[in-house]
């Protein structure tokens, strides 16, 4: 479009349109983006700017914020992270662990399912829709469901005489319960991009490799896996990123006993009333996430160059 000759623009309307037709681009004016962009700037970027500024402030009195432009909050967090007690360090490491375990478990559970739907299933759209439906139902309700199912008094356990066994496992309100809830709630987000990648695979390639003597696992590793990789990466991002701020599941299934970045931030706003510290924590999460994504993008770019 930028290559469009200047003379064409000066031409009559019809000729003008014809010259555009060659570029094949749609013809709606760019200012149509203005309302959405203004909304994003005013209600998304500016609020992020507000917490950036607030993170350099301090609390005065009960919950008022004084804008002192001090680095105290960051210094406090840094001292803790490199210090001996490492309260916040533990919480950030817990968050990293939750995000990694959550991503890997949805990948392990989701891959065979997406593979089956993409390669073998007859009613692909229906089966895919059945994966999406839980994703569209309330996140809270899905977490609540596990509150019932993981209870040692859950009728099925009592009927099976497993109550004692389950009780000894003591799942509810432990990190294990959180992991189960995370794997459950985030599974659809992983399956969708996996399916999208697997669905495009030409399976005759895999069959050809096997006909030429590759055992199934090697055909999988050499053909299916590389072709599915974009889906694996997209799904991992979709699960990993929101998990860094996960708030609901640690509270409902973890009994708010194990702290992660998400419920730590929430606590500063709901209970401690320390908005500056909460804002600083949020900035740390955004910063860490941005760095992680940049590293990820670079690794991806390098891999594409080599592949």
From the list 46-54, 70-78, 84-92, 163-171, the region that binds another protein by CB under 8 A is 46-54
Q: Tell whether residue 25 is a contact of another protein (CB under 8 A).
A: yes
- Does 286 bind another protein (CB under 8 A)? Our answer is yes
**CB nearer another protein, residue 29 or residue 307:** 29
From candidates 5, 24, 61, 213, binder to another protein by CB under 8 A: 24
Q: Which residues of 35-45 are buried (b: 16+ CB within 10 A; e: fewer)?
A: eeeeeeeeeee
According to CB under 8 A, which one of 59, 96, 145, 162 is a site residue for another protein? Answer: 145
* 248, 140 contact by CB (below 8 A): yes
232 closest CA partner among 126, 110, 113: 110
291 lines the binding site for another protein (CB under 8 A): no
Which 160-199 positions form the footprint of another protein (CB under 8 A)? 184, 187-188, 192, 196
Q: Which two tokens stand for residue 269?
A: 């706003």
The piece of 15-23, 78-86, 170-178, 223-231 that touches another protein (CB under 8 A) is 15-23
Closest among 134, 142, 276, 244 to 191, alpha carbons compared: 134
The torsion angle over the Cα atoms of residues 135, 138, 139 and 145, rounded to 10 degrees, is -100
> Under the criterion CB under 8 A, does residue 267 sit at the interface with another protein?
no
CA distances to 185, 268, 287 from 69, rounded to whole Å, are: 40, 19, 19
| Beta carbon nearer to another protein, 213 or 307 | 213
Binding flags for another protein, 54-83, as an x/- string (CB under 8 A): x----------x------------------
Q: Should residue 96 be labelled a site residue for another protein when binding is judged by CB under 8 A? A: no
Of these, 3, 5, 6, 26, which contacts another protein (CB under 8 A)? Answer: 26
Nearest approach, Cβ of 153 to another protein (angstroms)? 5
Among 6, 10, 43, 306, binds another protein (CB under 8 A): 43
Report whether 143 contacts 249 (CB < 8 A).
yes
**Other C-beta atoms lying within 10 Å of the C-beta of residue 119:** 14
Tell me if 230 contacts another protein by CB under 8 A: no
DSSP code at position 32: G
Among 5, 7, 12, 30, binds another protein (CB under 8 A): 30
For 63-92, give one letter per residue: b (16+ CB within 10 A) or e. Answer: eebeeeeeeebeeebeebbeeeeeebeebb
- Beta carbon of residue 98, minimum distance to another protein (angstroms, whole number): 12
Q: Could you tell me the CA-to-CA distances from 248 to 32, 144, 223 in Å, in that order?
A: 37, 10, 39
Within 237-266, which residues bind another protein (CB under 8 A)?
A: 237, 241-242, 244-248, 251-252, 262, 265-266
SS3 60: strand
- Judged by CB under 8 A, which stretch of 4-12, 31-39, 160-168, 294-302 contacts another protein? 31-39
Among 147, 201, 227, 233, binds another protein (CB under 8 A): 147
Of 22 and 307, which has the nearer Cβ to another protein? Answer: 22
Helices within 70-202 (DSSP H only)? 72-82, 87-119, 124-136, 139-149, 155-159, 163-169, 175-199
Taking alpha carbons only, the member of 238, 295, 252, 288 closest to residue 88 is 288
Asked if residue 154 lies in contact with residue 189, where contact means CB atoms within 8 angstroms, the answer is no
7 binds another protein (CB under 8 A): no
Closest contact distance (angstroms) between CB of 84 and another protein is: 28
């Amino acid at each position: 479009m930028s290559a469009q000759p200047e003379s064409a623009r000066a031409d009559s309307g019809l000729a003008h349109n014809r010259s555009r037709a060659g570029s094949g681009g749609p013809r709606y004016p760019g200012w149509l983006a203005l309302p959405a962009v203004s909304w994003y700037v005013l209600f998304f970027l500016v609020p992020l700017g507000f917490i950036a500024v607030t993170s350099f402030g301090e609390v005065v009195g009960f919950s008022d914020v004084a804008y002192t432009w001090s680095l105290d909050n960051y210094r406090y967090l840094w001292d803790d992270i490199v210090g001996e007690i490492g309260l916040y360090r533990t919480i950030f490491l817990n968050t990293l662990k939750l995000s990694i375990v959550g991503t890997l478990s949805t990948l392990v559970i989701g891959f065979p399912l997406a593979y089956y739907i993409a390669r073998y299933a007859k009613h692909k759209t229906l089966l895919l829709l059945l994966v999406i439906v839980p994703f569209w139902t309330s996140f809270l309700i899905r977490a609540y469901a596990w509150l019932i199912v993981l209870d040692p008094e859950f009728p099925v356990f009592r009927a099976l005489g497993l109550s004692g066994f389950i009780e000894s496992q003591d799942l509810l309100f432990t990190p294990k319960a959180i992991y189960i809830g995370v794997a459950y709630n985030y599974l659809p987000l992983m399956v969708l991009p996996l399916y999208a990648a697997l669905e495009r695979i030409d399976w005759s390639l895999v069959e050809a490799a096997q006909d030429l003597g590759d055992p199934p696992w090697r055909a999988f590793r050499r053909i299916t896996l590389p072709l599915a990789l974009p889906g694996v990466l997209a799904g991992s991002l979709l699960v990993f990123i929101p998990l860094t701020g996960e708030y609901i599941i640690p509270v409902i299934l973890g009994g708010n006993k194990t702290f992660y970045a998400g419920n730590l931030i929430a606590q500063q706003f709901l209970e401690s009333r320390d908005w500056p510290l909460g804002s600083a924590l949020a900035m740390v999460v955004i910063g860490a996430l941005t760095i992680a994504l940049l590293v990820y993008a670079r690794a991806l770019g390098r891999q594409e160059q080599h592949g």
